[in-house]
Copies of this chain bind each other. A is one copy, B any other.
């Protein structure tokens, strides 16, 4: 799985969900076109940067009108691959894992939740929002057979690297990592760290500065 020669720069990828979020909201209004200046207002990015970002993917704008909201939204969906089905599993059915079962964001992004795994005998067999919690022993086989793309990792810290190795062995393409552990993965496996407590770190850091001043 070599990297595409035309890989979208990370710095742009980072901003795509922001455009997506705002266009999704705008799509509900009666507004048809939006200018880079208005988008700048909403996103906090400069209009220049927005035009540059979008022009990376093609000429979506219409001079003197701006960008067609509906079309741009569709384009973003294609760019981010939301029109493509990606198979997801959740590994670890603790409190966070269970909350992820109820997450409503999968469908519009092309994700299909396929299974939930845990090691705890008290959880195995339970149904949460119509998903049966499966024994983690079945995971490797399942991922291989069903060609799962992404695993949400919500296991305890001690198990994180071991389970990760298993997922890699099974041929997982990406890990959506909620553990706090510095995981090691080979280059061809995508690792998206969703360490929620980092948000608390940043907030604490900034509050602290305000106090000191």
Contact = CB atoms under 8 A, between A and B. Distances in A.
Contacts of A196: 103, 105, 194, 196
A55 interface: no
Given A196-B103, A200-B109, A190 B176 contact: no
Nearest to A12: B205
A166 interface: no
B84 A198 contact: no
A212 interface: yes
A99 B96 CA distance: 5
Contacts of A206: 13, 174, 190
Contact of A81 (B2, B4, B16, B205): B205
18 contacts: A4-B209, A5-B213, A17-B195, A17-B198, A21-B195, A80-B201, A82-B204, A86-B203, A86-B207, A95-B99, A95-B102, A96-B103, A110-B204, A150-B200, A173-B207, A173-B210, A192-B202, A196-B196
Contact of A213 (B4, B193, B195): B4
Interface in A102-147: 102-103, 105-106, 109-111
A199 B182 contact: no
A30 interface: no
A131 to B, nearest CB: 13
A8 interface: yes
A149 interface: yes
